[in-house]
Amino acid sequence: MSSPLIAQLIDALRILPGVGPKSAQRMAYAILERQREGGKHLAWALSEAIEKVGHCQSCRTLSEAPICKICASPKRDAGLLCVVETPADVLSIEQAGIYQGTYFVLMGHLSPIDGIGPAQLGLDLLNTKLQQPDLSELILATNQTVEGEATAHYIQQMALKQGVKVTRLAQGLPMGGELEYTDSATLSHAFKGRRQVD
């Protein structure tokens, strides 16, 4: 039987996604047995981040400043606005180095069952952005899930009312993937979205 403090640490680690009781227990014991200094640094970094990281007032991503570096950069194309579900999606796109526009982070997707509607996703702020005269294209990059598709459709209707061109990230087969191991929904999207080879 572990002590109350160890049990408390294990329970606290379980808030992380994908961390079950056994994983949390392994982490807690690893910190206490071999990584006490690392644990202190982790506690400090976590405390600092929780206290000082908020949301960008323009795109809603996580940021220490009122306006994030991407929104503040004059090098970004203000005519392109990419809508994503999470700050992690922004990071993935930025790491790919293929996009030079701006973002809008929903911080989730429409899910009436969970009480997440347009207000929780900041769609009033997005609607204001859709009215900016320099905006030429809205790129929908929500996840390929039922909720992501429903969210994309809702936002598409908002954009069309404002006369903004709407595009959707292409769907299909991953690089290096084999047809044999590809699910039928992905194959269906790949066939529907096929284009002529030059």
Helix (H) or strand (E) holding 52: helix 36-52
| Res 77 pLDDT > 80 | yes
Q: Where are the strands (E) in 1-71, listed by range?
A: 54-55, 62-63
Taking the model in full, what pTM does it have? 0.82
- On average, the pLDDT of the chain sits at 89
**Per-residue pLDDT, 127:** 95
Q: Rounded mean pLDDT of 128-155? A: 91
Q: What percent of the chain has pLDDT over 90?
A: 70
Q: Read off the pLDDT of residues 104-130 as tens digits, 9 standing for 90 and up.
A: 999 999 898 888 988 999 999 999 999
Amino acid at 100: Q
Q: How many helices (H) and strands (E) does the chain have?
A: 8, 6
Q: What is the mean pLDDT of residues 39-49?
A: 96
* Structural domains of the chain sorted by starting position, each given as residue range(s) with its CATH number in brackets: 4-52 (1.10.8.420), 58-168 (3.40.1360.10)
